[in-house]
């Protein structure tokens, strides 16, 4: 497949697979990686042949955070004017689902990257943490906000204030990860989930992801109204007609948009 400076990129059927590839830096997220990753994800999102993406790292590290060596010397006006975190806003524009397959360290920006994805599947060796406080900063890619929403204030506050790591089992129990699997099965399990999603009718997939994401932004009443609009709108899709007809006729559906 396509090989960039910091990523390995392949297509596995309708699944786009991106492997973070800075092994000597435990996949620390430097500017090049951020640009390449958000660029490839935007390409996959626009590609009719792709229905879901998977981001993974190495067995030792999903990503050990933003690149401290690149950041350390920045001055405040430079950070503000460069706005070097803004590149990650690209995730908010993705309409197709992205799965994080996490093994080993997911620390700082690495934990935040996993949380930017739509769901996290973790190996039993995964370790999540927000150690920024030890560096004299706070999480900068949404960690203080997404961690609270994922695991609640008590555990999020403790992690952000102490920098302690959370093991896979605790992360699953707390609701940060969808599923924990043995390390040897991580990629296969993540790809299987991605293939399942990529085989679904795309208009419904896009609406489902969009509606679930609204739950973070809207009141319950507004969110339920938003969902109902999306639900009714899907009756305009050929895939709704096909999906329901196939169920009634007891045959497999043949979706047009997937």
Query: Of these, 48, 69, 235, 250, which contacts ligand CAA (CB under 6 A)?
Result: 69
Tell me how far, at minimum, the Cβ of 1 lies from ligand CAA, in Å.
Answer: 25
Cα–Cα distances in angstroms (integers) from residue 242 to residues 50, 96, 229, in the given order? 21, 21, 20
The smaller minimum CB distance to ligand CAA, of residues 50 and 102, is found at 102
Q: Is 65 in the site for ligand CAA (CB under 6 A)?
A: yes
Question: Which helix (DSSP H) or strand (DSSP E) does residue 102 occupy?
Answer: strand 98-102
Show the site string, 12-31: x = touches ligand CAA by CB under 6 A, - = not.
-------------xx-x---
Closest CA to 39 of 9, 1, 69: 9
**3-state DSSP of 8-76:** EEEEECCEEEEEECCHHHCCCECHHHHHHHHHHHHHHHHCCCCCEEEEECCCCEEECCECHHHHCCCCH
Residue 128 near residue 148, CB atoms below 8 Å: no
The smaller minimum CB distance to ligand CAA, of residues 23 and 152, is found at 23
| Contacting ligand CAA within 75-114 (CB under 6 A) | 105, 107-109, 112
Query: Of these, 8, 68, 133, 234, which contacts ligand CAA (CB under 6 A)?
Result: 68
Tell me how far, at minimum, the Cβ of 147 lies from ligand CAA, in Å.
Answer: 11
Contact residues for 133 (Cβ-Cβ < 8 A; gap 6+): 160, 161, 162, 163
DSSP state of 3: B
Show the site string, 121-160: x = touches ligand CAA by CB under 6 A, - = not.
----------xx--x---xxx-x-----------------
Q: Is 7 in the site for ligand CAA (CB under 6 A)?
A: no
Q: For binding to ligand CAA (CB under 6 A), which residues are involved?
A: 25-26, 28, 64-69, 105, 107-109, 112, 131-132, 135, 139-141, 143
């Amino acid at each position: 497949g396509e090989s960039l400076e910091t990523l390995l990129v392949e297509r596995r059927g309708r699944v786009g697979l991106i492997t973070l590839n800075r092994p000597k830096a435990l996949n620390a997220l430097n500017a090049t990686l951020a640009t390449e990753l958000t660029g490839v994800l935007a390409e996959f999102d626009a590609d009719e042949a792709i229905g879901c993406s998977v981001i993974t790292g190495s067995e030792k590290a999903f990503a050990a955070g933003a690149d401290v060596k690149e950041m350390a010397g920045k001055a405040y006006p430079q950070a503000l004017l460069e706005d070097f975190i803004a590149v990650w806003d690209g995730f908010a524009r993705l309409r197709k689902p992205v799965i994080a397959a996490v093994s080993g360290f997911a620390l700082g920006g690495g934990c935040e990257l996993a949380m930017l994805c739509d769901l996290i599947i973790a190996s039993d060796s995964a370790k999540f943490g927000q150690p920024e406080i030890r560096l004299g900063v706070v999480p900068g890619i949404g960690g203080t906000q997404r961690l609270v929403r994922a695991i609640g204030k008590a555990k999020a506050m403790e992690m952000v204030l102490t920098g302690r790591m959370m093991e896979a089992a605790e992360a699953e129990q707390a609701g940060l990860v969808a599923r924990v699997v043995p390390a040897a099965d991580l990629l296969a399990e993540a790809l299987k989930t991605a293939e399942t999603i990529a085989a679904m009718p795309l208009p419904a997939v896009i609406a489902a992801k969009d509606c679930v994401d609204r739950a973070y932004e809207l009141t319950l009443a507004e969110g339920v109204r938003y969902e109902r609009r999306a639900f009714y709108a899907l009756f305009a899709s050929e895939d709704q007609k096909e999906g329901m007809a196939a169920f009634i006729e007891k045959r497999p559906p043949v979706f047009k948009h997937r």
